[in-house]
Amino acid sequence: MAAPHRSPLASWRSCTFVLRINPIKNKVPYRRIGEHMKKWLATLSIGCALQMLPLHSSESANLQKEETVDAAKEIDHLLISEALGHLISKNLANLGPDFNIDRVIKGLKDAMSGKPTPLSEESTVEAIHKIQEKSFQRLANDNLKEAQDFLELNSKKENVVTIESGKIQYVTQQKGEGPAVEAASNPLIKYQGKFLNGQVFGESEAGETISLADTFPGFSKALVGMKEGEKRTIFIHPDMGYGTSGMLPPNSLLTFEVEVVKSHVPEEKNETTQGIADTELLELKDAMEVAK
């Protein structure tokens, strides 16, 4: 059975931020580690080892099938050690950019040789948390300025319509002729969500029915008035999007390519979509707990 589609359209009324992301297509690397850094540090080596297990298991199965083993093809421990460094690097990248790789390597060597750590584990966790918070705030400020500058320049372009000054804009790519979406509608739409750099963070090529009452303000306001068959490119300021909450980089300006397939789908025909949304909400909450 195919897995349910993961939508980036959130339930705004939930006390916990909800962002249903397709894990394959979402490549946003940002993550706030927070208070559970200690747990991550304690399991880093185990996690790296577990990532290597599928390779080891696969090779073991192949070796059992072969009657002879070419000595030249035996596991190269030096190569594996180098690959392990790449796995550790990926985890370090999630902590933020403010780390000196030479000192990290020195710490690894000192630890392996039994030398004492320059900081206690508790102090290390606290220090990394502070670095994370500074990095987060810096990124949030940079993204907010980028969003404001973009919308200001974009508002002066031909064919750009402003719904809310400095907050929500759109360009009509194709006019529609059917009924229009209303504030209380559950429209069936096709969409693609992107950042300013063009990176796609979510899409629904097959179409998805959403509740405008439950999605985030910028998206719902931008859809009101769209007719069936209409296509718009929508630009949403972070204040009307996800702000500094959730799984996306903080204060990201969001761009959506949207097509209204049907202006409203009655609730009784929308039960399947709602069921998927409820399931994904539970899945996301579990994922966020793991990320912490």
- How many structural domains does the chain have? 2
Task: Report the run of H or E that residue 255 belongs to, with start and end.
Answer: strand 254-262
Q: Quote the mean pLDDT of the chain.
A: 76
Task: Note whether 78 and 211 are same-domain residues.
Answer: no
The CATH number of residue 283's host domain is 3.10.50.40
pLDDT digits (tens, 9 = 90+) for 50-104: 444 444 444 545 555 554 545 445 678 888 888 888 888 888 877 766 778 899 8
Is 2 domain-assigned? no
Residue 11 contacts residue 281 (beta carbons within 8 Å): yes
Q: How many CA atoms lie within 13 A of 225 on its CB side?
A: 8
The token pair that represents 82 in the structure block: 């180098």
Per the listing, tokens 């630009």 go with 235
Instruction: Domain of residue 224: give its range.
Output: 145-291
Task: Note whether 113 and 150 are same-domain residues.
Answer: no
pLDDT at 193: 94
Q: How many CB atoms lie under 10 A from the CB of residue 9? A: 24
Least confident of 7-16, 118-127, 148-157: 7-16
- Domain end: 103, 118, 133, which one? 118
- The residue with greater pLDDT, 17 or 242, is 242
pLDDT digits (tens, 9 = 90+) for 186-235: 999 999 999 999 999 999 988 999 999 999 999 999 999 999 999 999 99
pTM for the model stands at 0.64
Query: Of 273, 185, 179, 264, which Cα lies nearest the Cα of 229?
Result: 179
